[in-house]
Amino acid sequence: MSYVSARFSPESAAELHEFAETLGLPNIVPAKDMHVTVFASQTALPDGIISTTDVEYCCRGRTLKYFGCRHQMLALVLHTPELCRINSLISATSGIKHKHGDYIAHVTLTYDVNTWCGHINTDVPLMDIRKIVVEPFNDDWTSGTNPG
């Protein structure tokens, strides 16, 4: 079981958390836990496909989207061609598909919201991604760790 995520710089994570607060969201993911899922699979990736590495990517949010059963997760969908390329490369090289079907780069802002009637009332911050992390897959997304 494999999980690949992109981690924000501490400054970007703090700005993203502040952005979520301005939206009036409940139960916001702590800044230190905010990340972008790059690839998730209940099948282990073969050795050598990808490893934890430092990177320098920038991304910006595009729209808010509900994920999960009964709209439990609210995420900010991102424009990040680099992470989309990594996801495609992992699938093409390993022959393993992303657990959630079509890949949508996003950062989960809250794991526990059933309805939210707010709107984006401020500029979405430009976010710096500084690390790609490879770790075991955790299917309990309510724990605040992967998947996100």
Whole-structure pTM value: 0.81
- Beta-carbon contacts of 2 under 8 Å, excluding residues fewer than 6 positions away, are 39, 40, 41, 43, 44, 45, 96, 134, 135, 136, 137
**Residue 54, both tokens:** 């430092």
**Residue 137, both tokens:** 């897959």
Half-sphere exposure of 87 (CA within 13 A, CB side): 23
Q: What's the rounded Cα separation, in Å, for the pair 59 and 38?
A: 13
Band of residue 135 on the pLDDT scale cut at 50, 70, 90: confident
Instruction: Using alpha carbons only, give the angle 123, 126, 128 rounded to the nearest 5 degrees.
Output: 155
Average pLDDT on 86-100 reads 87
Q: What's the rounded Cα separation, in Å, for the pair 43 and 29?
A: 27
Asked if residues 23 and 121 have their Cβ atoms less than 8 Å apart, the reply is yes
Q: What is the pLDDT of residue 36?
A: 93
Q: What is the pLDDT of residue 44?
A: 87
Q: What is the pLDDT of residue 56?
A: 93
Band of residue 7 on the pLDDT scale cut at 50, 70, 90: very high
Which of residues 126 and 83 earns the better pLDDT score? 83
Q: What's the rounded Cα separation, in Å, for the pair 19 and 143?
A: 22
Q: What is the pLDDT of residue 147?
A: 47
Annotate 13-25 with b (16+ C-beta within 10 A) or e (fewer): bebbbebbeebeb
Q: What is the mean pLDDT of the chain?
A: 83
Average pLDDT on 31-58 reads 90
Residue 148 has pLDDT above 80, yes or no: no
Q: What is the pLDDT of residue 141?
A: 52
